Amino acid sequence: MTWIERTAYPQFKRLTSARVLHVFFTPSPEEVAWAEERTGSPGSCFALVLALKCFQKMARFPSPGEIPDVVIDHVRRCLGLAEDVWQDHGSSRSAKAHRKLVRQRQGVKYDAGRARAIAAAAINALRRLARRL
């Protein structure tokens, strides 16, 4: 049986080491400046940086409940925020804008229609292969 961590759909590991936190979730000063220029509050900046670091590591946007507390706390400390400051995209419209900003920064294009077409073609190819077997 395949472990969920080894599938194409990346997950957070149960335990996150200090090395992983440092290497993958520590924002650079340039990333922090980029986020601060595009947000109006510490909570919004925190949300944008957290979304950026998670996307860089996982190539997707995890739901807020998926992100381990240790990752959230690490990014909060890196930003120098108090413990009572939480990541806050604000409205769903702002969250969508944050995802768009992260994709632009990472050079990723969001094209749901094309993604569905590629997935459908792959599924059909697998069905044809399965019929031959």
Residues 1-13 pLDDT 10s: 555 555 566 777 7
Expressed as residue numbers, the domain containing 23 is 4-132
Residue 96 pLDDT exceeds 70: yes
Residues 57-91 pLDDT 10s: 998 999 888 999 999 999 999 999 999 998 887 78
Higher pLDDT, 102 or 13: 102
* Number of domains composing the chain: 1
pLDDT of 115: 86
**CA Rg value for the chain:** 18
Q: Are 45 and 35 in contact (CB under 8 A)?
A: yes
For residues 81 and 117, give the distance between their C-alpha atoms in angstroms, rounded to a whole number. Answer: 43
